[in-house]
Amino acid sequence: MRQAFLGLAGLIAIIAAFVLVRPDVLERLGEQPVLEGQVQHFAATRTLRATPDLAWRDIDGNDVRIVDFAGKVLLVNFWATWCAPCVRELPSMNRLQAKLAAEGLQVVAINVDTGGRYAAEPYVQRLALDRLSLYLDPRSAVSRAMGVSVMPTSFLIDRRGREIGRLEGGAEWDSDEAVALIRYYLRRAA
């Protein structure tokens, strides 16, 4: 009886110590990401999903993979010049990158035009996307592997390269609710 009591007390002590040292854990236990306004259609996966180990290209022709960004939270976006809602949200993604880069976010905008660099570059220049690198997936290999059917589609990837969720359709990515959603995932140490 006494042992059981001691055991219980020890357990409580350990938990209390843990909570004192890491109070944020308690905070986060009840927390849910807020999905409203611009990000209301964000669909979080039930369990974190591994992303395909496929490569896309940068403008110099080098292969780029999700694993190259390990340690950062990624917003991977697929866009095309023929897709008006895609082009419309690119400036807001540029601003988002400027805002949250220091907190560990990397926006990866991948263009799927069959015309590749020559189709996409004029838009990048016209829209002054100075914080985004131009990535190319001209045969839509990566987008198809990730299950993209609607344009645009954006994926949130955690620091270990696993898919947290996706948003089908365009959004103002530097709106308050979008920034809050991404910060929620940025704060969770992976």
Partner 1 sequence: MALVALVLAMIATVNTRAADAQGAGSWVDYGQGRVRLVSATAAAAGDRLLLGLHYVIAPGWEIYWRSPGEAGYPTTVDWTGSDNLRAGDLQWPLPRRFRLLGVETYGYKDEVVLPIHALVERQDQGVKVRGEARFLTCNEVCVPHTVNLALDLPAGHATLSPYATLLNRFQSRVPQSDTHLGLTLERAEIVVTPKGEWLRVAMRSDEPLRAPDVLVEGPREFVFSTPATRLTGDGRGAVVDVPVAASVLASTNVSLVGKPLTLTLVDGDRAREVATVPVPGAIDAAVDGSLLAMVLIALLGGLILNVMPCVLPVLAVKVLAVVDHAGNSRRATRIGFLASAGGIVATFLLLAAVLAGVRAAGVAIGWGFQFQQPLFIAAMALVITFFAATLLGWFEIRLPAALAGAVGRPTTDHRLGTSFLTGMFATILATPCSAPFVGTAVGFALSRGPWEIVAMFAAMGLGMAAPYIAVALVPRIVEWFPRPGRWMLVVRQVMAVALVATVVWLVSVLAVQVSTLAAVVLAVLLSATLLLLAWRHRAAAPRRRWLTLAAMSLAVVTIVAPAIHKAETALTIPDARWVAFDPGSIAGHVAEGRIVFVDVTADWCVTCKVNKELVLNRGAVAEILADARVVAMRADWTRPDERIARYLEGFRRFGIPFNAVYGRQAPGGIALPELLREDVVVAAIRQAGGAALAARQ
Q: Can you give the binding site for partner 1, defined by CB under 8 A?
A: 80-88, 122-123, 126, 149-152, 168-170
What's the min distance (Å) between Cβ of 153 and partner 1? Answer: 8
Read out DSSP for 92-149? HHHHHHHHHGGGTEEEEEEE--TTTHHHHHHHHHHTT-TT---EE-TT-HHHHHTT--
Tokens matching residue 109: 């905008």
**Residue in 122, 111, 41, 114 with CA at minimum distance from that of residue 77:** 111
At closest approach, how far in Å is the CB of 87 from partner 1? 7
Q: How far is the CB of 144 from partner 1 (least distance, A)?
A: 11
Q: How far is the CB of 77 from partner 1 (least distance, A)?
A: 13
Strands 105-111 vs 135-136: parallel, antiparallel or unpaired: parallel
**Separation between Cα atoms, residue 117 and residue 159, nearest integer Å:** 28
Nearer to partner 1, 121 or 158 (CB): 121
- Nearest distance in Å: CB 129, partner 1: 12
- Nearer to partner 1 by C-beta: 43 or 101? 43
CA distances in angstroms from 31 to 2, 121, 129, listed in the order given: 37, 41, 34
> Considering beta carbons, is residue 10 or 122 the nearer one to partner 1?
122
Closer to partner 1 by Cβ: residue 100 or 113: 113
Minimum CB distance to partner 1 smaller for 27 or for 36: 36
